[in-house]
């Protein structure tokens, strides 16, 4: 089966500046501009209904009635917008319900006074000296009720929209914080992994120096080349599995020089699995664990097997050691190598990757189940 999938944003995440909670929501931003323009048809429809009422009841010509209605509800729309801005500016949404209701009541009364003064002036200009008798005398209470109801409905919708925006921004901030935390965790793990790998490798050389200096010199040369390639790879976020397994093969070759015939290993990998991207040195601590707990404590020969294959867009890797053999004892396998690997998987994949351990007969097995990702976007 082929590996598929993409890994988005690895190595290219840019720091972002989060919005402070007191900062007004800017409806001109591209993400909100479309939603803001939806308000205009709603206000226009209300203005058209008002124009028809003026045309029918007051006998105004339709152009005059429509112009008056547009001004009528344009002013009201601006007042609703200002009330929403004041809600953000003074954090009224975060106050107690009684405080918020009292503040919005005061703002609403002020808005209605401003609207009334504006409409009286406009009707005086549009209708003439008899504007009160023509426009307001018999319907002023009804019109005031309509305006108050429309203002309350518009304000409610505006505050609801701002509440949705605050929740969306909160989720975005939490997502950015989670990404930053994972990147910091991953960087911390890398700084631990370098000395961990280096000390294990140098211990192998030191062990060989005691009884075979020539072999130790040869091993040191190979180790220098291996470490150079390893530390170069640590600066990358993901690498293909195939060259990663080549690094493991070199490491096990070095360890085989140390243990002579006591260490055998086999690496099996499907072609499709070799193209899957994984964090660099993901398997190294697990292989070191297998050497430390499955080979080093015993006098008999042991085998380490690494198997990698793809199944249903997942990468499945198993690392098995023969351990103490049939009927023998075996280390628990819960040391630093497994801890490092679990933390790296969690930092890179979250819940998308799994690591399982099990005792075998003989030996110990570690199984990894990862997304089969082959592209970085």
CA distances from 237 to 257, 276, 281 (A): 31, 13, 11
Q: What is the pLDDT of residues 191-227, one digit of tens each?
A: 555 566 667 667 777 777 777 788 778 778 877 777 7
Segments in the chain below pLDDT 70:
1-40, 42-43, 54, 58, 60, 68, 126, 135, 177-198, 200-201, 234, 324-336, 361, 376-377
> Which residues, 6+ apart, have CB-to-CB distance to 285 below 8 Å?
193, 196, 197, 336, 337, 338, 340, 341
Q: Cβ–Cβ contacts within 10 Å for residue 316, how many?
A: 17
Which residue ranges form the domains of the chain, and what is each CATH number? 30-175 (no CATH), 181-376 (3.30.565.10)
Instruction: Specify the pLDDT at position 195.
Output: 65
Calpha distance 292→76 (Å, rounded):
77
Instruction: Specify the pLDDT at position 19.
Output: 38
pTM recorded for the entire structure: 0.52
Cis preceding-peptide flag for 81 (omega within 30 of 0):
no
Q: Cβ–Cβ contacts within 10 Å for residue 337, how many?
A: 24
Q: What is the pLDDT of residues 297-319, one digit of tens each?
A: 888 889 999 999 999 899 999 99
CA distances from 80 to 45, 94, 130, 318 (A): 17, 19, 30, 63
Q: What is the residue-wise DSSP string for 305-372? A: EEEEEEETTEEEEEEEE-TT-TT-------SHHHHHHHHHHHHHHGGG-EEEEEE-SSSEEEEEEEE-
Instruction: Specify the pLDDT at position 276.
Output: 95
> Which residues, 6+ apart, have CB-to-CB distance to 271 below 8 Å?
none
**Do 242 and 204 touch, CB atoms closer than 8 A?**
no
277-278 and 302-311 beta bridge pairing: unpaired
């Amino acid at each position: 089966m082929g590996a598929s999938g993409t890994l988005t944003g690895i190595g290219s995440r840019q720091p972002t500046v989060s919005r402070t909670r007191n900062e007004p929501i800017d409806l001109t931003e591209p993400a909100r501009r479309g939603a803001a323009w939806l308000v205009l048809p709603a206000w226009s429809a209300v203005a058209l209904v008002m124009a028809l009422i003026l045309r029918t009841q007051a006998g105004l010509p339709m152009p005059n009635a429509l112009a008056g209605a547009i001004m009528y509800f344009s002013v009201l729309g601006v007042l609703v917008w200002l009330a929403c801005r004041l809600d953000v500016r003074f954090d009224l949404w975060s106050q107690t319900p009684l405080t918020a209701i009292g503040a919005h009541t005061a703002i609403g009364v002020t808005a209605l006074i401003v609207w009334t003064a504006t409409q009286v002036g406009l009707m005086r200009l549009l209708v003439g000296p008899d504007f009160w008798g023509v426009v307001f005398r018999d319907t002023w209470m009804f019109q005031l009720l309509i305006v108050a109801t429309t203002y309350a409905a518009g304000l409610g919708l505006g505050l609801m929209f701002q509440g949705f925006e605050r929740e969306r921004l909160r989720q975005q901030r939490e997502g950015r914080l989670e990404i930053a935390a994972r990147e910091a965790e991953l960087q911390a793990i890398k700084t631990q992994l370098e000395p961990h790998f280096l000390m294990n490798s140098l211990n192998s050389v030191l062990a060989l120096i005691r009884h075979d200096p020539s072999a130790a010199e040869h091993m040191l040369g190979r180790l220098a080349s291996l470490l150079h390639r390893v530390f170069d790879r640590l600066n990358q976020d993901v690498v293909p599995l195939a060259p990663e397994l080549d690094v493991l093969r070199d490491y096990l070759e070095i360890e085989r020089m140390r243990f002579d015939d006591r260490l055998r290993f086999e690496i099996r990998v499907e072609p499709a699995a070799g193209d899957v991207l994984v964090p660099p040195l993901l398997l190294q601590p697990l292989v070191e664990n297998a050497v430390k707990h499955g080979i080093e404590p015993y006098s008999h020969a042991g085998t380490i097997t690494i198997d990698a294959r793809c199944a249903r867009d997942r990468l499945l890797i198993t690392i098995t050691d023969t351990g103490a053999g049939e009927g023998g004892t075996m280390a628990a396998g819960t040391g630093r190598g497994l801890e490092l690997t679990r933390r790296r998987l969690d930092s890179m994949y979250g819940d998308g990757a799994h690591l399982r351990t099990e005792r075998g007969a003989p030996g110990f097995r570690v199984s990894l189940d990862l997304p089969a990702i082959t592209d970085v976007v």
